[in-house]
Amino acid sequence: MKASVVANKEFTISKIDDRLYGAFLEHLGRAIYEGIYEPDHPTADENGMRGDVAKLVKDLNVPVVRYPGGNFVSAYDWEDGIGPREDRPVRLDLAWHTSESNQVGIHEFADWCASVGTEMMLAVNLGSRGVDDARNFLEYVNHPGGSYWSDMRIANGRKEPWNVKLWCLGNEMDGPWQVGHKTADEYGALAANTARAMRMFDRSLELIACGSSNADMPTYPDWERVVLEHTYEHVDYISLHMYFANPEKNTGNFLTLAEKLDTYIETVASTIKQVKAKKRSKRDVYICFDEWNVWYHSKEQDRKILEGNSGWPFAPGLLEDIYNFEDVLMVGLILNTFIRRSDVVKIACIAQLVNVIAPIMTEKGGPAWAQTIYYPYYFASIFGRGTALDLQVKSPTYDGKHAEKAPYVDVAGVHNEEEGTISFFLVNRSGNEEAEVELSLQGFGAGQVIDHQVMTHNNLEAVNSARNQDEVKPRKGEGAAVNGDVLSVKLPPYSYQMVRVKV
Ligand code: AHR
């Protein structure tokens, strides 16, 4: 099979916001406890944070991490996580039917973020609480001192405010599973009032209203319209979530979920435009895709705990999807979609970061390792910064469950002008045929391949594990070359590749 791509320096989509490669950590399962925090672990630092996990996170150069939930946040009292650890209460977490020890709270999380070089993105509880909780938490986190909450932060050991810019106004409020679930009108009114109060404190905050939990919600896409009609002048982003599953084990169909994602983004972008026009507004609202990943491998094994048949365990293994090689292709396609939609999707968070539907796994007292999906996320985060190119792609197509005429060859390209590089991320969705791809590079001058990484495997179900951490890993590619202004590359069946060209 042959495919062709035109990349022209002048045809661009948008400057990519670095925060497109963000992540998410929730008080859920072993994400925090035994994930980032394990005081008895041989690699733990003086704060009890695992050094091996911190290293894997640092390598990803994660720009921002959303915290503390997720469904968890909708019944969370952030005050439980401050002050001396021995005085912190144990609470029942209704979202995941577990017990929360509160040994990690905002101080510990903030210190961890600083240690791994990432920014915080905090969610306020608009489920069981509201405006008051949000304004108090904001004062605690961002006010320099001289007020009740800021002085309490100082007394608890943190003199400087953290100056967190990004705030999520609740989580998945369209979901009946959410504590404090609301209609679009109820939530829109609350989100607008909360945003108003938060802006009275600091007009420069970046605020995110909840959009739909997924594109199959019965309230989608009217939810976005109604919420934005309430909040358009007060927020900067509307959030979207989507999880990708292949329970039928049909790879071709699974991989066309990328087209469903694309349509989801396009639809909400249109809704934003519609509300903007209706409001005669001058400002822009963008999409913050703050939960995305493959999630289905662990559903059956979690049933007992989630249905409440295991009591209220502390930090049990939950949502521990073990990712396979097929998921590498899906995650590559998702990231390519975000790059191509970077004009409207400014922030995105892989959900989640450690142990819970995560690229990084840990064993209690044992190793931490990279799951298969770590690698496409790594390549996009490290090399996908710059300007997204508006590529013209011609590829043979196929019809799948979620899309007709899905191109077998999926490509995204990022031009980094400062470095003088173009990074191409390519996925071959054909399981039968190699793809010979010719990319015509227009207006960039002479080019030379400086890096070529390939992920392929003869078993779509191959996984990495604590004892076999390198089963699915990138290897150096061969044969990609620039002749004149044409980059030629061959994609084996079912493969993910990154090719970087110095221009
Ligand atoms: O990421 C896991 C859960 O998925 C989050 O808590 C929730 O927001 C979503 O339903």
CATH of the domain at 369: 3.20.20.80
Give percent of the chain with pLDDT exceeding 90: 100
Distances (CA, A) of 482 to 51, 87, 149, 444, 485: 41, 63, 60, 12, 6
CA of 280 to the centre of ligand 1 (A): 34
Ligand 1 pocket check: which of 76, 171, 179, 354 to mutate, most ligand atoms within 8 Å of Cβ?
171
Same domain, 432 and 400: yes
User: What are the tokens at 388?
Assistant: 């997204």
Report whether 407 contacts 430 (CB < 8 A): no
The CATH number that applies at residue 395 is 2.60.40.1180
- pLDDT, residue 389, reads 98
Mean pLDDT, rounded, for 398-405 = 98
pLDDT exceeds 90 at position 481: yes
Q: Is 291 a catalytic residue?
A: yes
Q: Is 172 a catalytic residue?
A: yes
What are the residues facing 65 on neighbouring strands?
Answer: 23, 120
- 462 three-state secondary structure: coil
> Could you read off the pLDDT of 311-368 as tens digits, one per residue?
999 999 999 999 999 999 999 999 999 999 999 999 999 999 999 999 999 999 999 9
Same domain, 327 and 410: no
Query: Helix (H) and strand (E) counts for the chain?
Result: 11, 26
> Could you read off the pLDDT of 371-389 as tens digits, one per residue?
999 999 999 999 999 999 9
pLDDT exceeds 90 at position 195: yes
Report whether 22 contacts 66 (CB < 8 A): yes
Same domain, 331 and 424: no
CA of 71 to the centre of ligand 1 (A): 6
Q: How confident is the model at residue 446 (pLDDT cuts 50, 70, 90)?
A: confident
* Domain edge (last residue) among 347, 367, 383: 383
> Could you read off the pLDDT of 73-106 as tens digits, one per residue?
999 999 999 999 999 999 999 999 999 999 999 9
- Which structural domain range is residue 428 located in? 2-9+389-502
* Domain edge (last residue) among 322, 354, 383: 383
Same domain, 266 and 309: yes
Mean pLDDT, rounded, for 195-213 = 98
Tally of structural domains, the chain:
2
Same domain, 357 and 482: no
Same domain, 320 and 275: yes
Ligand 1 pocket check: which of 121, 240, 291 to mutate, most ligand atoms within 8 Å of Cβ?
291
Same domain, 409 and 494: yes
- pLDDT, residue 165, reads 98
The secondary element (H helix, E strand) that includes residue 291 is: strand 286-294
Q: How confident is the model at residue 278 (pLDDT cuts 50, 70, 90)?
A: very high
Same domain, 370 and 397: no
On the 0-12 / 13-18 / 19+ scale of CB atoms within 10 A, 445 is exposed
The four Cα atoms 78, 80, 84, 90 give a dihedral, to 10 degrees, of -140
* Domain edge (last residue) among 383, 401, 419: 383
Report whether 73 contacts 134 (CB < 8 A): no
Mean pLDDT, rounded, for 265-288 = 98
The four Cα atoms 379, 381, 382, 386 give a dihedral, to 10 degrees, of 110
**How far is residue 500 CA from its own chain's centroid?**
24
Same domain, 487 and 363: no
Same domain, 309 and 417: no
Same domain, 173 and 255: yes
What are the residues facing 476 on neighbouring strands?
Answer: 453
> Could you read off the pLDDT of 387-401 as tens digits, one per residue?
999 999 999 999 999
Same domain, 423 and 374: no
Which residues, in sequence order, are CB contacts of 306 under 8 Å at separation 6+?
96, 97, 318
> Could you read off the pLDDT of 145-159 as tens digits, one per residue?
999 999 999 999 999
